[in-house]
Amino acid sequence: MAGRLGTDADIILSESILSRILDVMDSMLIEKDQAGIVLSGNILTDQNGPYAVISSIGEDSPIGICVASSEGGTEPTDGELALFKSRLSEGIMMKVDVFVHQFSFYKIGETVEDATVLFSE
């Protein structure tokens, strides 16, 4: 992967990984009211500071989580933020609304901030 390609994006994500994440979340919500998976990858640093590269889903090199619920929405709830903090002290949260096919990314640390994404292939 060629870094951030001159941008200041907070996250780099391939379209194939995005598709896999969305498929898994959709499948999980068929059986449950809530779904969550671990996002794996690396935190890298360049002249613009740190950024995350999401490379897979699973427990290897966790850098964040992806959550969804049957209630929908793309803003993390207090419960989802608590779940995040129980797994990681800081990182990336992806919140998916599978019903309207929307998602949002957040940087989680001491505060919760919107994150920008660079999609690559």
Q: What is the pLDDT of residue 2?
A: 57
Per-residue DSSP letters for 30-45? HH-SEEEEEEEEEEEE
Express each pLDDT in 53-96 by its tens digit: 999 998 888 999 999 998 889 999 999 999 999 989 999 999 99
CA distance 40 to 57: 5
Alpha-carbon span 69 to 71, nearest angstrom: 5
**How far does CA 63 lie from the centroid of its chain?**
9
Beta strands in the chain (DSSP E): 11-14, 34-46, 49-57, 62-69, 91-97, 102-108, 112-114, 117-120
Q: What three-state secondary structure class fits 50?
A: strand
| Domain 11-113 class in CATH | alpha beta
Residue spans of the domains in the chain: they are 11-113
pTM: predicted TM-score of the whole model, two decimal places: 0.91
Residue 101: per-residue pLDDT: 87
